[in-house]
Amino acid sequence: MLAGIELVVKGDALEEKAASFLAALVDQGLAVILDEKTAGVPAVVWQGIDAVRLSGLTNMLDRPAVIRIAGELGFPEAARWIETHTKEYAEGVFRGFIVEAQGGKP
């Protein structure tokens, strides 16, 4: 039982049980499989977002404050990205960011 929901897991092999468990989570709305076409966030942008988060200076849902603080912390690329990618930023806050391998600060 998870979150008050009975999950039925089937299969003999470990892989079958894992696949069944994941399917049950998705069926109950407890997990979402992200589309492979989901655009990632550049690493340099993630660094700025994470710097703001770690600073604890604002709630990450306060987008204007996050933009301002990212700029103040020396992440203008992150500030611009958040400002121009409002939908992607909101999805990242709620679902997690997929960080691209390239584009980070050295």
35: Cβ contacts below 8 Å, ≥ 6 apart: none
CA 82 to mean position of chain CA atoms: 14
**CA atoms within 13 Å, Cβ hemisphere of 27:** 12
Rg of the chain in Å (alpha carbons): 18
Which carries the bigger pLDDT value, residue 95 or residue 15?
15
> What is the number of helices (H) and of strands (E) in the chain?
5, 0
Condensed to tens digits (0 to 9), the pLDDT of residues 34-76 reads 665 556 899 999 999 999 999 999 999 999 999 999 999 999 9
Q: Determine the average pLDDT of the residues in 10-39.
A: 80
DSSP single-letter state for residue 42 = P
What pLDDT sits at residue 106? 37
